Chain A
Amino acid sequence: MGNCLKAQSADDISLLRGSETQDGNDQALGPPPPYQERVAPRAPIYYPSPNVSRPANLLTEDEQVKIAKRLGLIVHLPCGVYDGCSKKGKECAICMCDFVMGESLRFLPCMHTYHKDCIDDWLMRSFTCPSCMEPVDAALLTSYETS
């Protein structure tokens, strides 16, 4: 133990916190981890891919383009307000809550519906539908071409 290579992904160390604070062995191995993530970040955090989080000022050029593209595409996805019509589904698969009259929803091209806040959060990480894994941008581009 103790020779864990740092070769693995250096992203998102926050997840390790749980196991490290709980496991007494770790403390003996070296200085405690710097709890940098507790300091309120000044730049907003973006997720170029689901497992990669980075403050806006540290994004690579490619990642900036990727995120700008996503932001641009998200606004083209139709949204609406839940009107009690069950044809659009009744539950958001992300928060597992039933839709309530008046809540803002977003409709994906695959016909899956989510709370706007829930799905936008996910789309900033991955441009796929959580329920059917359909890539959202591919469907979006086809719908442009056909309309």
Chain B
Amino acid sequence: MTSMEKRLQKELQALTKDPPAGVIVNTESVSQNMSEWIVDLYGAPGSLYDGEKFQLSFKFSPRYPFDSPQVMFIGPNIPVHPHVYSNGHICLSILTDDWSPALSVTSVCLSIVSMLSSCQEKKRPPDNAIYVKTCSKNPKKTRWFYHDDTV
């Protein structure tokens, strides 16, 4: 097993054994070599996304955890949020510039849940239309300028 597979194996065990609220990893989606996962996210009670279900796709390079995972929303329900584009791309600094190998699938999911929970108004990013038309399929290829974190 490679070190990437070993570490993801541990993460998967921890996440299935002791999942944080609103985060459920779809164990059947996990590919043989661990490089692709799908995680179900549930909008936190009391937040604007209460009762909604979302799907996050994770893709890991062989250099994980030194390389950040490629993370985006997929499926029929993409949250309407000022940092989430309608193609599922997420503007979140820990997914690129602020990534650290001490972060994990769990910590990424928790950041996204808290990003959703703190939302005051459901709307798309102001540059959604142009971004979705011109961006790469891989959100990690985007040179994000990070919107302020207070939204």
Contacts and interface: CB of A to CB of B under 8 A. Distances in A.
A20 B137 CA distance: 9
A95 B6 contact: yes
Nearest to A23: B137
Interface in B79-96: 96
Interface stretch (B48-56, B61-69, B119-127): B61-69
B10 A125 contact: no
A19 B59 contact: yes
A75 B70 CA distance: 32
Interface in A121-139: 121-122, 125, 128, 130-131, 133
B111 interface: no
A142 interface: no
B101 A93 contact: yes
A97 B6 CA distance: 9
If over half of B's interface residues share one DSSP class (helix, strand or loop), that class is named, otherwise mixed; here it is loop
Interface residues of A, number: 29
Interface in A88-147: 93-97, 118, 121-122, 125, 128, 130-131, 133
A43 to B, nearest CB: 17
Interface string B104-137: 1000000000000000000000000000011111
B136 A4 contact: yes
Interface string A1-22: 0011101110010111011100
Contacts of B99: 50
Interface string B1-23: 00100110011000000000000
B10 A122 contact: no
B102 A130 contact: yes
A96 B11 contact: yes
A8 B7 contact: no
A95 B4 CA distance: 8
B137 A9 contact: no
B133 A3 contact: yes
Given A95-B6, A96-B11, A122-B66, A19 B137 contact: yes
**Closest 4 A/B residue pairs (Cβ):** A130-B102, A93-B102, A8-B141, A130-B100
Interface of B: 3, 6-7, 10-11, 35-36, 59, 61, 65-68, 70, 96-104, 133-138, 140-143
13 contacts: A4-B136, A8-B143, A9-B141, A9-B142, A15-B59, A16-B136, A19-B138, A50-B97, A51-B96, A93-B101, A94-B101, A95-B6, A122-B66
Interface of A: 3-5, 7-9, 12, 14-16, 18-20, 23, 50-51, 93-97, 118, 121-122, 125, 128, 130-131, 133
